[in-house]
Structure 1
Amino acid sequence: MITLATKVTILRILLVPVCLSQLIYYAVGYADGAAKEWHRLLAFWVFVVASLSDAVDGFIARQFNQQSQLGRVLDPIADKMLLMTVIILLAINPGGAFPKLPLWFPILVVSRDVLLIAGALLIHIVVGEVKVKARIVSKVATLCQMVTLACVMLKMDPASIAWPLYAAGFFTAVSFIWYLFDGVKQFNTVVNLKT
């Protein structure tokens, strides 16, 4: 049986193409000089609902003891699908429809996640089990990334976008370093036990 918490996670996954399609419709209209603001605003509100659902599914899972293996697998997938696709689309910024994200931001966020996934796979292959602790710094990084993207979708001025953008960059880098140390420590512990 699928728990309510997992259903909320699945809803987040289903909202990703809705958000992306509205961003694309807006950008195409903008490039043609016929942008429909409701596409942009719908994308924004869908993104906000999807972002908030990340906290809601976790709360439901913990509060009502609905933690499941399926939820543990789907939740990070849903998070990455939402953030990565929106970050990449807004970084490409088709037709110049949105305030420009600096190139370092999508590179930092995407490469952090790719390297963490590669490291987790390596540990899984060598060690057999990957232990990932949720870190508050990672949650703050995700929140700052979401706020940055929401500000871009609202077409706020660059000064207003700067503070969540730089905070997102800082916390994303710190969380990567923290998870890197965790992974190296986990790897070394098992290697030392085997020798």
Structure 2
Amino acid sequence: MGIVNVPNGLSVSRLFLGASALGLIHAGMFGWALVLFLLAAITDTLDGYVARLLHQETAFGRQLDPMIDKLLIAAVLIFLVAVPGGGVPAWMVAVIVSRELIIQWLRSMMEGKGVAFGAKSAGKLKTVLQCAAIVAALLALAMAPDAPSWVVSARDVLLWAAVLLTIYSGVEYFAAAAPLLREDRAGG
């Protein structure tokens, strides 16, 4: 099965939506950035569903989808760190981006060995929490300076939850890959 298919097209569309959202964040148009980010998040839900529905699941797609997720989330978070009063601490973004790069490397290694290493439940929930935190941050910025305290509190709680689950799911991925990594070391 080729790499040009509907689910991979949805994944790639997320790149364009994300790049547009970044431009809007840079321009201070946080409400519109929120709309585009939400559309991008919807394509993330759709691509996996469509891949299963159309029987178009591929090793390429298993790597493309999470890589684009990581690029989108990392880029938006980095842009939000730069927004004065954005409420997104740089250290949290550093933890999230570091974990994402390490797990993408691990996924690539496993897929290179012919081992399907798709997303786990905690990893999927982590992505949902990261997206929810970004939505809350963009909403708070769009409503600033009159953002209700509950929106700001929701942003902060979601950011902390996303960071904690990001760390937990990273450990879970390493635990799943450890036996294969040990086999490699013992065999080589």
Normalised by the shorter chain, which TM-score bucket?
0.7 to 0.9
Aligned to 1:47: 37
Q: Deviations over 1:66-88 (max 9, x none)?
A: 22344233212211121010011
Aligned to 2:77: 87
Structure 2: unaligned runs, 5 residues or longer: 141-146
Deviation of residue 58 (structure 1)?
Answer: 0.4
Aligned to 1:111: 98
Aligned to 2:14: 12
Q: Which entry has the higher C-alpha Rg, 1 or 2?
A: 1
Deviation of residue 3 (structure 1)?
Answer: 1.7
Q: Check if 1:177 corresponds to 2:171.
A: yes
Deviation of residue 129 (structure 1)?
Answer: 4.7
Aligned to 1:132: 117
* SS at structure 1 position matched to 2:133: helix
Q: Deviations over 1:41-87 (max 9, x none)?
A: 11100000001110101000011212234423321221112101001
Structure 1 runs of 4+ off > 3 angstroms? 117-121, 127-131
> What root-mean-square deviation, in Å, do the aligned CA atoms of Structure 1 and Structure 2 show?
2.2
Aligned to 1:72: 62
Q: Percent identity?
A: 23
Q: Check if 1:144 corresponds to 2:129.
A: yes
Bigger shift: residues 56-65 or 152-161: 152-161
Q: TM-score scaled to structure 1, two decimals?
A: 0.80
Structure 1: unaligned runs, 5 residues or longer: 27-38
Task: Determine if contact 2:86/2:137 at 8 Å carries over to the other structure.
Answer: yes
- Give the Cα–Cα distance (whole angstroms) in 2 for the partners of residues 77 and 119 of structure 1: 12
Aligned to 2:154: 160
Q: TM-score scaled to structure 2, two decimals?
A: 0.83
Aligned partner letter, 1:177: V
